[in-house]
Structure 1
Amino acid sequence: MQNAQLILPAPAKLNLMLHILGRRPDGYHDLQTLFQFLDHGDQLGFALRADGEIHLHSELTGVPHDSNLIVRAARQLQQQSGTRLGADIWLDKHLPMGGGIGGGSSDAATTLLGLNRLWQLDWDEDRLAALGLSLGADVPVFVRGHAAFAEGVGEKLIPVELDEPWYLVVVPQVFVSTAEIFSDPELTRDTPAIKVRTVLERGGRNDCQPVVEKRYPEVRNALILLNKFVSARLTGTGGCVFGSFPSQVEADKVAARLPDHLPGFVAKGSNVSMLHRALENWVESRM
């Protein structure tokens, strides 16, 4: 990334609960979920190109260049804004694919926000979030950058203030297909809707967890292990599982007891995305 003009983080997220209310006519599902960010994620670098080309210089195994959400986000923003500028993009990948912590969606959102600045488009968050929704249901929350209670397919967001504990996130070595989980006939699809206040007071469950545990024994075993130390939950459609701790020291102690075949990381929960904090710092540095 030594040639990058702008370097930004793409943070992970956790779904602290995920209720599925029903299947929509378009095949998607109405849901309710609670998003919180982590101070841990990928990193992207951006540099201007005058020729209009979009080049991602980092390869992801099994993901063709033009199919990568980063490239798709850049090209959609380019096309809809009408800019003639292009970009060189570098990705330092830390978040696992198929982990339920938002890696691809977060990368796409960071691309939209980063190029919006670099290309001097001055799009507002509403416009960027609407474009992001066409790329994935989780992209808007990363664009807006605040912990939120979400409804619809995850795009109707109500900002919330949550406790910001330390989390241990355990990463079973499996790729969980979101489409596979949402198409499973055993998935609960009739959880009654609840109010945001009820979620904040009582929490909730993850309706995807029983299906993921049944299909992926690696995830089930990770939950069993982590539950020995803390209440463990699945995030999103998985496969990452997590538990919360009042301090980094306590989270680190449990992380140190994970077996070698089960990687994980410790990160601070955050109601404001580290992407947005980094963008604010970048703007201030240019004043």
Structure 2
Amino acid sequence: MTLARLTLPAPAKLNLMLHILGRRADGYHELQTVFQFLDYGDELDFQLRTDGEVHLHADIPGVPPETNLIVKAARKLQSDSGATLGIDIWLRKVLPMGGGIGGGSSDAATTLLALNHLWQLGYSLDQLAELGLALGADVPVFVRGHAAFAEGVGEKLTPVEPEEPWYLVLVPQVSVSTAEIFSDPLLTRDSPPIKVRPVLKGNSRNDCQPVVERRYPAVRNALNLLSKFTDARLTGTGSCVFGAFPNKAEADRVSHLLAETLTGFVAKGSNVSMLHRKLQNLF
């Protein structure tokens, strides 16, 4: 008998804006942000095991399998559900670590959705999103799979429909520490809260960008270069910067112009993640 196997994408995300409203008593920050997905990401293969063991087949420097969010997601779902089946997982990694485009969180969400199906658990998206939140603040939006205005620490999600342009994402060769940025004394922590609608018409700044630019000259350089062609912004608290273009040809043109000094990729913005589109086609 051939055990069930499933291949699913783990898409990147962009933060189209990020405002920090204040620091909470638990040390986390209240924020407002808009998440949108990209049709670009990692890919994971899953194959059932009958012995209950969880094995990740991926060699990621500096990240032992036991600390990888993929393994943590699988074990958390296994523990919560009492599932007796196991899983082999193969990861094809293309999203940079510390880039601010959600690689680890997206991998974890794809794992939760895949195992919910393969282990036939019948969990709802609400249940999976709640499990995911314990793994990371960005995991719930990937579980739900729709562009969203997010509040709280990023877990209170309101679906939104921003435009879906083509993006050029530049990837400076540095890994930005989220903890370092959020602990910086110069970080803006008093942005006034805004309503959803104005977010989509403007207010697109990222409060973390000045801190990241000051600490990481490579990121500042990427922003300066891309801003010659379009409005260039930082995504999340990572190193990646992005700009929107009306079509793929224009994004490709600028990508080629900058290719000598910076690596990057061109991808379509999408309000429904390619993971959820694939799941809809499969089931």
TM-score by length of 1: 0.97
Counterpart residue number, 2:157 = 157
Is residue 258 of structure 2 the alignment partner of residue 258 of structure 1?
yes
Which amino acid in 1 is paired with 2:89?
I
Query: Are 1:255 and 1:266, in contact at CA under 8 Å, matched by a contact in 2?
Result: yes
- Measured on the aligned residues, the alpha-carbon RMSD in Å equals 0.9
Residue 257 of structure 2 aligns to a residue whose secondary structure is coil
Query: Are 2:4 and 2:118, in contact at CA under 8 Å, matched by a contact in 1?
Result: no
Counterpart residue number, 1:197 = 197
Which amino acid in 2 is paired with 1:242?
F
Give the total of aligned pairs: 281
Q: CA deviation at 1:35?
A: 0.4
Q: CA deviation at 1:263?
A: 0.4
Counterpart residue number, 2:31 = 31
Residue 162 of structure 1 aligns to a residue whose secondary structure is coil
Residue 104 of structure 1 aligns to a residue whose secondary structure is helix
Q: Deviations over 1:214-257 (max 9, x none)?
A: 00000000000001111100000020000000100000000001
Q: CA deviation at 1:259?
A: 3.7
Counterpart residue number, 2:59 = 59
Which amino acid in 1 is paired with 2:159?
P
Which runs of 5 or more residues in structure 1 are unaligned?
none
Query: Are 1:20 and 1:31, in contact at CA under 8 Å, matched by a contact in 2?
Result: yes
Which amino acid in 1 is paired with 2:266?
V
Structure 1 vs Structure 2: percent identity of aligned residues?
A: 74
5 Å matches for 1:1-287? 5-283=5-283
Which runs of 5 or more residues in structure 2 are unaligned?
none
Name segments (4+ residues, structure 1) moved above 4 Å: none
Q: Deviations over 1:60-95 (max 9, x none)?
A: 110011000000000000000001000000000000
Q: CA deviation at 1:4?
A: 7.5
Residue 12 of structure 1 aligns to a residue whose secondary structure is strand
Query: Are 1:4 and 1:45, in contact at CA under 8 Å, matched by a contact in 2?
Result: no
Q: CA deviation at 1:204?
A: 2.3
Paired with 2:29 and 2:149, the residues of 1 have a C-alpha distance of: 16
TM-score by length of 2: 0.98
Paired with 1:18 and 1:220, the residues of 2 have a C-alpha distance of: 17
Q: Deviations over 1:108-150 (max 9, x none)?
A: 0000001101111010000000000000000000000000000
Query: Are 1:167 and 1:242, in contact at CA under 8 Å, matched by a contact in 2?
Result: yes
Which amino acid in 1 is paired with 2:64?
P
